[in-house]
Chain A
């Protein structure tokens, strides 16, 4: 009996001690999250307030106020009326955290291949324990990417952040070609819908119609309909090469034994997958022919540069090709 009471007491003690030991880490995490939020709001030309911070940190008013006071004393934040702003020191620190966060998102999307809707949470989980050296190594390993998987710019080591270049899809004129440069990952419901429609950063599209209750667009093949509130979370910029939409199709759409020329690998394919596809010779101008189709049609094997290479559908879909005019088709 006494033994079990003793054990319980020790256990409670251990839990309490760990809680206490975690306190600095927890405070650091909250401060960093708050800085990130303040930075985000300023970057978008908005202002952070008590209620916006409350929403992000999911804390009671008094805790948020205490946190802001602590950040003020650390010299990161200044309060102007209802709004909170970053001091130069706070801004510097915020950029470092944002850099770690976006690099991690890039890592989880490209290298660990987590689904896009999970990368934000995974990055949140890991960003607070990264040392500056970890961040630099991560960036180097991935070839110093410049944007995160949602299209947000990653601040450089020196803290330089290029301005956002896109305009919301709702403000894009109908009939002209655009390229998605950024997709908001908040709110999650809208983000999930955007992903479900197959939209991704780098996708080229054309707005066909927009009315107060819907925005209709096409990626060259299928028609996509979005509610304006959702479409406003997709930011686009002018397509770089206007020719890309004419006559180009995805490698998955290329009929068997038809020759085509590789136009490019789309921007959604990143990291190791992209490098591997290019290593195999799927670069601009390469002639590629689908030659084999396995059970269920996926994977298919393609003839490229004298070799036969099998690719799964989700990878081949990133390769944009233009069927060759002199295409020969087997009559059989």
Chain B
């Protein structure tokens, strides 16, 4: 087999290390979001009874994963711990962050509460720094309407540079549109231009200096800016991943991943 095959093995190895069994699925989707945003309601709405709960490997943090099918593609949905941020070192945040950074899911749905969008954007912007394959699901639209809050989804999507779907997870409203966008992101049909947070002054200069260095060490890395910021923060885990070459390997594979997946699907179709 060609080198491509091993690339896909290696990505799967990273995911398997995080306890994701890929044997009966085509794509992996992560579900992120603040606590109390109806994340688990969306998870249940998408996966129904096809779910499995347990703990993250070696951690006392609950995890849930389930499967669903859309347009003939079998998705594995991994529910990440609900967090306000990805910056603090709490166990939950570390798990969510590691999954996005090292697991490189084919797409990530970030669930946001329409009644407190500003607070939720804090997490959305952080996720956008790590991965560009994101769909934002603005949930609880009904509650927002009741409170007289109106969300301009189109402006939001333009500002964030990724697709945005308005949903009411409890009733199923808007789920089809969400899945269509998810399909586009996971297959690579929709190109995104994720918004990157502006920093200023000395911090900006420090980031500007580090980004080319990170890119030189890990060619093709999609989130050099975020890595640079984490290195400035002295994030021991990111330092270790950079030093061991784990980040460079993942970056190298990431570039080939869409091709690998489409090939995999094509192969299975031919059988």
A and B touch in the complex (CB under 8 A): yes
* Contacts from A to B (Cβ < 8 Å): 136-137, 139-141, 143-144, 272, 275-276, 279-281, 304-307
Additional 11 contacts, C-beta under 8 A, given A136-B236, A281-B118 = A137-B236, A139-B234, A140-B234, A141-B236, A272-B89, A275-B85, A281-B119, A281-B122, A305-B118, A306-B116, A306-B117
Residue contact B235 to A279, C-beta cutoff 8 Å: no
Contact B118 A306 (CB under 8 A): yes
Given the complex of chains A and B, what is the CA–CA distance between A272 and B90 in angstroms? 8
Residue pair B233, A307 in contact (C-beta under 8 Å): no
Q: Please give, as numbers and ranges, the residues of chain B lying within 8 Å of A141 by CB-CB distance.
A: 89, 236
A146 to chain B, nearest CB (A): 11
In the complex, the answer to whether B84 meets A280 with C-beta atoms within 8 Å is: yes
What string of 1s and 0s marks CB contacts (under 8 Å) between B201-237 and chain A? 0000000000000000000000000000000011110
Task: Check: B21 CB closer than 8 A to any chain A CB.
Answer: no
Partner of A279, one of B116, B122, B233, B234: B122
Question: In the assembled complex, how far is the CB of residue A96 from the closest CB belonging to chain B, in whole angstroms?
Answer: 18
- Alpha-carbon separation in the docked complex, A275 to B84 (Å): 11
Q: How far is the CB of A88 from chain B (nearest CB, A)?
A: 28
Of the listed residues B119, B235, B239, the one surrounded by the most CB atoms of chain A closer than 10 A to its CB is B119
In this complex, what residue of B is CB-closest to A304?
Answer: B119
Contacts of A275 in B (CB 8 A): 85, 87-88
With A305-B119, A306-B115, A307-B116 as contacts: A279 and B236 at CB distance below 8 Å: no
**Complex: chain A residue closest to B116, CB-CB:** A306
Contacts of B235 in A (CB 8 A): 140
Q: Write the nearest CB–CB distance from B126 to chain A, whole angstroms.
A: 10
Complex interface: chain A residues within 8 A of B233 (CB): 143
Query: How many Cβ-Cβ contacts under 8 Å join chain A to chain B?
Result: 41
The answer to whether A307 and B119 touch across the interface, beta carbons within 8 angstroms, is: yes
Q: Give Cα distance in the complex from A144 to B85, angstroms.
A: 20
- Report the Cα distance A279→B89, complex, angstroms: 12
Q: What are 21 A-B interface contacts by the 8 Å CB criterion?
A: A136-B236, A140-B235, A140-B236, A141-B89, A143-B233, A143-B234, A272-B88, A275-B85, A275-B88, A279-B84, A279-B85, A279-B88, A279-B122, A281-B118, A281-B119, A305-B118, A306-B116, A306-B118, A306-B119, A307-B116, A307-B119
Cα(A141)–Cα(B89), bound, Å: 7
A307 to B37, CA, bound (A): 11
Q: How far is the CA of A141 from the CA of B85 in the complex (A)?
A: 16
* A307, B118: Cα distance in complex, Å: 10
Nearest Cβ in chain B — how far from A278, in angstroms? Answer: 8
A140 and B233 alpha carbons, distance in the complex (Å) = 8
Complex interface: chain A residues within 8 A of B234 (CB): 139-140, 143-144
Counting from the closest, the 10 A-B pairs by CB-CB distance are A306-B116, A140-B236, A279-B85, A279-B84, A275-B88, A144-B234, A305-B119, A307-B116, A305-B118, A140-B234
Q: How far is the CB of B36 from chain A (nearest CB, A)?
A: 8
Give the residue among B90, B115, B234 with the most A Cβ atoms within 10 A. Answer: B234
**A279 to B84 Cα, complex, angstroms:** 6
Residue on A nearest B114 in the bound complex, by CB: A306
Give B197 Cβ to nearest chain A Cβ, in Å: 13
Select from chain A the residue with minimum beta-carbon distance to B36.
A307
The docked-state distance in angstroms from the alpha carbon of A323 to that of B89 is: 32
CB-defined contacts of A306 to chain B, threshold 8 Å: 115-119
- Once the chains are docked, how many angstroms separate the CA of A137 from the CA of B89? 13
Q: Which residues of B contact A140 (CB under 8 A)?
A: 234-236, 239
A279 x B118 contact (CB < 8 A): no
- With a CB–CB cut-off of 8 A, which chain B residues contact A139? 234
A143 cross-chain contacts in B, Cβ below 8 A = 233-234
Please indicate the chain B residues that have their CB under 8 angstroms from the CB of A276 in the complex. 84, 88
Chain B 230-257 residues near chain A, CB threshold 8 A: 233-236, 239
**Chain B residues positioned under 8 Å from A137 (CB to CB):** 236
Residues of B within 8 A of A280 (CB): 84, 119
Instruction: Give CA–CA (A214, B236) in the complex, Å.
Output: 48
State in angstroms the CA–CA spacing of A305 and B112 once bound together. 13
Residue ID in chain B nearest A144 by CB atoms: B234
Chain B residue numbers with a CB within 8 Å of A144 are 234
Q: Give the distance to chain A from B235, nearest Cβ to Cβ, in Å.
A: 7
- Cα A281 to Cα B122 in complex, Å, equals 8
Which chain B residue has the least Cβ–Cβ distance from A141?
B89
